[in-house]
Amino acid sequence: MSQLGRLVSVLTDPATQFTAALATNAALTLNMTPGGGLGKVDGGLASPSVQCRIKGITIASAEALDWEVWFWRSDAFNVSATDPSLDLFAGRHKFTASTDGLRIAGAGLYYYAVNNLDIPYVDVDGTGEMHLMLINRSVASKTAGANGAVQVGLLCDPSLSW
């Protein structure tokens, strides 16, 4: 059950976000202002902050690729490749095109979904954003522009506290 009795859906914009080409194992980052009541002032954190539990992820993609969605607690993303105490990694999920990327009647977009997650997320840098990283784990590259369009959706449970 949601703490506030509701879940919030947050969507990226495929026309303006994650639009660049993406080589194998490369990543695109996004600092996204979610809205929907996820941004809040919290006395223990820099304000405003996003505090929620990520319950589900969906992807609608023009291409059948293996995707990973990673979450970071700051817009610095993986700021330190050598010092774990400086890293602000929050969680991730992997989708495989061959098992997760489904089409309707063999045409159109590829749809990926997972709904059994519980990733605690707190924006600690006070930007009021969710910090996402989309990684292409396929052998093939993601195409730039409309031919490689991708939309990431998050199902979030706004949290009152942990």
Give residue-wise pLDDT tens across range 80-92: 667 777 788 999 9
Helix H or strand E segment including 8: strand 8-11
Distance (Å, rounded) from C-alpha 99 to C-alpha 153? 19
Residue 52, classified by CB atoms within 10 Å of its CB into exposed (0-12), middle (13-18) or buried (19+), is buried
What would the two tokens of residue 158 be?
């706004």
36 vs 116: which has the higher pLDDT: 116
Residue 125, classified by CB atoms within 10 Å of its CB into exposed (0-12), middle (13-18) or buried (19+), is middle
128 vs 18: which has the higher pLDDT: 18
- When pLDDT is cut at 50, 70 and 90, the band that residue 41 belongs to is very low
- When pLDDT is cut at 50, 70 and 90, the band that residue 127 belongs to is confident
- When pLDDT is cut at 50, 70 and 90, the band that residue 38 belongs to is low
**Domains identified in the chain and CATH numbers:** 8-158 (2.60.120)
Distance (Å, rounded) from C-alpha 10 to C-alpha 31? 13
Output the pLDDT for position 43.
40
Q: Taking 80 as the threshold, does the pLDDT of residue 136 lie above it?
A: yes
Percent of the chain with pLDDT over 70: 85
